[in-house]
Amino acid sequence: MGRLGKVGRRGAFRADIQGLRAVAVVMVVLYHARVPFLAGGYVGVDVFFVISGFLITDLLWREVEGTGRVGLANFYGRRARRLLPMAMLVVALTMVASAALLPPLEVRTVWKDGLATATYWANYRFAALHTNYLSAGGPPSPFQQYWSLGVEEQFYLLWPLLLALAGGALWGRAKRRHRAPSRLRAAAVIGVVTVSSFGFSLWLTHANEPWAFFSLPSRAWELGLGGSIALAAPLIKRLPRGILAAVGWVGLATVVGAAVGFGSTTPFPGTAALAPVLGAGAVVAGGLVPARWGPVALLGTSPLQLGGDISYSWYLWHWPFIVLAPYVTGAPLTLSGALALAAASGVVAWVSYVAVEEPTRRSAWLARRPLRSLSAGAGLGVAAVTTCVLATAFLPSLQGHGVARVAASPTLSSTSPAHHTSTGQPATPGLSATRATSATAPVGDAPAQRVASPQQQREREVTAAEAHLAGQERQVAAAVRASVGMHALPANLDPPLGEASASEAPPFLDGCLLGYSETYQPPCAFGDVSSSTTVVLFGDSHATMWFPAFQEIANARHWRLLVWTKAACPPEDVSIFNPDTDSEYTTCNQWRAQEMARIEALHPLLVVLGTAPNYNRLYDITQDGPAWMAGLRHTIRSLRASGARVLVMGPVESPDWNVPDCLSAHLEDVAACGVTPKETHAGPGLVGYDNAGLIAEQRVVRSAGASFVDVKGWFCAPATCPVVIGNRVVFFDNSHITVQYAEYLEPLVASEVDLALLRP
């Protein structure tokens, strides 16, 4: 990504490379502006990697051949002059803008991104965040474009040492021994590193795509290919000029074809990255012998040369423009708006290039002594870090000052925890009393009291439990209604707003909620782990979020609670599409099948199913369609065949925004973050899983012999669903409920469990 206008210090200026830079940055900028025909524009970064690998290797090798050594201080000083002034300036200004525009709670995350960026390890931070299922869907960081600079800076740190060692030129050893550095040995070592990195990238793309995308080891082969071309240049130059020109045109067409043909569902990098990488390599190699009819005829034009000049600054500026603009306008970006911002960021990039980038790059005073460049670079880094820290120091307090009555917990069912037998079935005090009465002989002419049959007694208990649950739900509904229209954030908020995003149940954090690629399910046993009575919480993350309620029930009733859940993997026996791999979610099918077999072998008392309501949107399946309903029916019947009762938790009316972030931006208007009940439970503007579908699902659940819990009234009044109920925050992100609210609903969940066990 760093700007090198020449091929080494004595090499000829490569107008084709400069124009290729412009092509790469335009693809990235238009991709981020969501131009429809450039869904694969992200491959522009791969083009930059190849260019950087070629130019840096050529520069270093020329130095090795001329002096017999690599001057590390000079090299790192040049890198500092060329990269750090613009990079740190954009970091500082982006942090200031973020602190002014973003919700205060989000700023507390963004400043950590800024620190990682200023110290060039942002690529690994973003890899970790994208691997985290719960944070992957959060708002994009205004620093996210810096991941590629992290890769390049790490490459620059290691590559000179590797090249010097491979060529026998470390510390001038080759010159002292009066022998030329070995280009062949260097090429062989670089080739081994490149091939090894490519193999690792293929494996990691399948195993963990975010890490494959962001990490240096899985991207080094792209830079290594450019380096290999630099070392092989003497051989390449022997090829006929016409062949090289044709190779260059084919390479350019391949790069553009990848940008047009790839998309968000293309597994990347993996084998797909071969197209832009080899294409860029072909352009670079083809231009080693200049030909007027080669790609330079296009790439050497004035507009593309200007684009190449400002490519580094433009790459840095365009992303914060696009990410932060909606916080200024209060509305999502349109295509025309995004294109206007892209153009505006290009103008700012040109000004930055003229005023900052070129003067520091060409500074004779800085170049005279490498230590000056290194010291200036360190000072800029410290300034950027200081800006990130200070920007958070002036954020408003997250402490609310409103007064909210703590919503009274619903009363426990009379058949709840303390009134359960060791088998898990509710005890029946009424039945025992009846039996005691019937055992007494009638006196005189008094008629014998009629003894209720077991079926009649169970029906009475079901009726009583349903009535009690209805009373509990009225209590919760009253708390929900009382919270509608809340203005000031309560001072006694539970959890405190700064801690709300971390209010995740333990299974989210301890490996019990498996990631996308995982299939091995740990035991994940809670409650009374020695109990002979087992309950299984089974499904995706929307099953996991109910854990706090079921843990309380299991502890009180001395049950063993097993939590077997997997990210974005519904318990319904259906095959779904995984957008991350652009293929069937096979690990979900594998995990579900093995856990179903384990559950059936356990013969548990109860299996609780939980499913997110957004599969229509992301996973290419109609959530209330025939295949889904058939899969739901099959799962329930298989579980029922093991003797288990099955309880299906209905969908939660979820917001489409991060609730703690929203609350931090609306401390005086909590109602602004409320959710309007939707006809569809899958998301705004989507068709499927609507009220009719929900009713159909309830029928399928009940006809298959399970119980269905309609939880909408636990969260919503008729017109709105408040995200703070009483003094409790309901969601810790955009769809999962907090530990505190799950615990609040535990009495209702316990009553639903009672009914599931009582019903035939």
Summarised one tens digit per residue, pLDDT across range 268-294 is 999 999 999 999 999 999 999 999 899
pLDDT for 429:
35
H helices present in 394-453, as ranges: 429-438
- H/E segment holding residue 322: helix 311-329
Residue carrying the six token digits 């490379």: 17
Q: What is the mean pLDDT of residues 83-96?
A: 96
Does residue 228 register a pLDDT over 60?
A: yes
- Mean pLDDT for all residues in the chain: 86
Does residue 684 register a pLDDT over 50?
A: no
Among candidate residues 307, 312, 366, the one with its CA nearest the CA of residue 83: 312
Confidence of residue 399 (pLDDT cuts 50, 70, 90): confident
Q: What is the mean pLDDT of residues 53-77?
A: 88
CA distance 318 to 381: 21
pLDDT for 11:
55
Confidence of residue 538 (pLDDT cuts 50, 70, 90): very high
pLDDT for 615:
84
Q: DSSP characters for 600-668? A: HHH--SEEEEE--S-HHHHSSS-TTSHHHHHHHHHHHHHHHHTT-EEEEEPPP---SS-HHHHHHH-TT
| CATH H-level superfamily of 458-758 | SGNH hydrolase (3.40.50.1110)
Does residue 555 register a pLDDT over 60?
A: yes
Does residue 605 register a pLDDT over 60?
A: yes
Give percent above pLDDT 90 in the chain: 65
Residue partners of 59: CB distance under 8 A and separation at least 6: 4, 7, 8, 9, 11
**What pLDDT digit, counting tens, does each position of 40-58 carry?**
999 999 999 999 999 999 9
pLDDT for 674:
92
pLDDT for 581:
58
Residue type, position 701, single letter = V
CA distance 486 to 225: 59
Q: What is the mean pLDDT of residues 12-29?
A: 95
pLDDT for 171:
44
Q: What is the mean pLDDT of residues 600-615?
A: 93
Does residue 7 register a pLDDT over 70?
A: no
Record the tokens describing residue 675, joined without a space: 């959710």
Record the tokens describing residue 683, joined without a space: 């998301």
Which of 34-38, 455-459, 474-478, 665-669 has the weakest average pLDDT?
455-459
Does residue 96 register a pLDDT over 80?
A: yes
pLDDT for 561:
98
**What pLDDT digit, counting tens, does each position of 695-739 carry?**
888 999 999 999 999 998 999 988 899 999 999 999 999 999 999
| CB atoms inside a 10 Å sphere around CB 97 | 18
Among candidate residues 740, 330, 332, 329, the one with its CA nearest the CA of residue 545: 740
**Preceding peptide of 269 cis, ω within 30°:** yes
Does residue 22 register a pLDDT over 70?
A: yes
Record the tokens describing residue 167, joined without a space: 């060529």
- Are 421 and 492 a contacting pair, CB within 8 Å? no
pLDDT for 241:
94
- Are 364 and 373 a contacting pair, CB within 8 Å? no
Does residue 686 register a pLDDT over 60?
A: no
Q: Per-domain residue ranges for the chain?
A: 15-178+222-393, 458-758
pLDDT for 688:
36
Q: What is the mean pLDDT of residues 343-362?
A: 95
Among candidate residues 515, 499, 433, 426, the one with its CA nearest the CA of residue 465: 426
Which of 33-47, 259-273, 573-587, 735-749 has the weakest average pLDDT?
573-587
User: What are the Cα distances from residue 189, in Å, to 63, 64, 166, 249?
Assistant: 18, 16, 6, 29
Of residues 574 and 394, more confidence is placed in: 574
- H/E segment holding residue 19: helix 15-32
Does residue 265 register a pLDDT over 80?
A: no
CA distance 726 to 660: 16
Handedness of CA 17, 19, 23, 29 (dihedral sign): positive
Record the tokens describing residue 110, joined without a space: 């963004």
Q: What is the mean pLDDT of residues 476-501?
A: 91
Q: Tell how strand 513-514 and strand 560-566 pair up.
A: parallel
Residue 383, classed as helix, strand or coil, is helix
Q: What is the mean pLDDT of residues 144-172?
A: 83
Residue 140 DSSP symbol: P
Of residues 517 and 740, more confidence is placed in: 740
**What pLDDT digit, counting tens, does each position of 113-154 carry?**
999 999 999 999 999 887 666 665 567 899 999 999 999 999
pLDDT for 288:
96
CA distance 564 to 540: 9
Record the tokens describing residue 588, joined without a space: 């979900």
Highest mean pLDDT range out of 327-331, 620-624, 631-635, 687-691? 631-635
pLDDT for 432:
32
Does residue 379 register a pLDDT over 50?
A: yes
Does residue 417 register a pLDDT over 50?
A: no
Which of 402-416, 537-551, 665-679 has the weakest average pLDDT?
402-416
pLDDT for 653:
83
Does residue 680 register a pLDDT over 50?
A: no
Among candidate residues 490, 527, 502, the one with its CA nearest the CA of residue 606: 527
Confidence of residue 398 (pLDDT cuts 50, 70, 90): confident
CA distance 462 to 751: 10
CA distance 193 to 226: 12
